[in-house]
Structure 1
Amino acid sequence: MNSRTNKPPIISVVGLSGTGKTTLLERLIPELTRRGFRVGTVKHHRHRFELDRPGKDSWRHKHAGASVAIVSSPYHIGMIMDVDHDHRPDELAPLLCSVDIILTEGYKQDYNPKIEVFRPKAGGGEPILKGDAHLVALVSDAKVDLDVPKFSTDDIEALADFLIDNFNLTPTALTQHLEAAS
């Protein structure tokens, strides 16, 4: 949670396909959770997708015409909802309860702070967000000259430190979540 705004910051991890965005998130999320932060994620996808499996009850509910179908267990909640537009991360943030930080994968056109993962071998001659005012950091092992902090793909601890310091993060969501549950 941002200690100044009491809202979780939204940071988008962006880059060309095959640069390692998902891999970076797979390594960054456990580092932040190890430090006591609750992390929410949003993956942007431009096409239709199915999370449910054909024949399952919730799939049948949705395909029978339900606008929203929720699956609930003592361990997880899943929701599929029809929407009328492509939602921005700040529109989705209220769905991410009790988190300290929201990391998105994608949303390179959005106005939230962005971390670009750059690998020239993935097809880009230079970072796609070069000159973007919302670029706050670059993750790359290539030599790149930009006016933002640069992190090696292996330096996850330093990237986590940067996010905590730069966005004034405090691990308060877990405490608030536990207090609300008691």
Structure 2
Amino acid sequence: MPTPRPDVLNFLATRRSRPAKTLGLPVPDRAALIPMLEMAARSPDHGKLEPWRFVVLERAALLRLAQSVPRCSGAKGHDGEAIAKAQKQFTDAHLAVAVIEVQRPSPKIPAIEQTYSTGAVCLALLNAALASGWGANWLSGWPSHDRGFTEGSLDLAPNERIAGFIHIGTETTAPPERPRPDIAAITTWVAE
């Protein structure tokens, strides 16, 4: 018979991301952040390829990224409001971890499984931060998919891309609960 973990089940049943714009100071220091990164790195990883890595972005780095948004090639396709919104993700932040997908050549592990593993790392880091008492949010946005931005601002290699920015800080406002999926509507049971 399984042994339930009510504390963990309650956390999963009630977890809620905190909007990045509501996260303030203080933020976790390196000693507090390293255990969260270690927890995230325990994510499923078929083939033990470690198809991901972390880039910890502190305040000065985030402000530098904000300044580079209007200069990236993708900015040409966006109006001033979209550019300002993309910059705000960085100017409002005090700490974010960029989770970088690193596609590794493998005859056995398809690229899509490496992508799924990286997504699992993002969620695990988000949950580790929330479970540690911090507010946290997983964001991406169009700059994270712009090669000029990712290569020019974060020095990503051609086989790398940003899976998300996990913003971590002190919650300043509790977010309201939001509607959740209707499980009956999205679940199919197959018995035979």
Name the TM tier (shorter chain).
under 0.3
Q: Scaled by the length of structure 1, what TM-score is found? A: 0.26
Judging by fraction of residues, say which structure has more helix: 2
Q: Scaled by the length of structure 2, what TM-score is found? A: 0.25
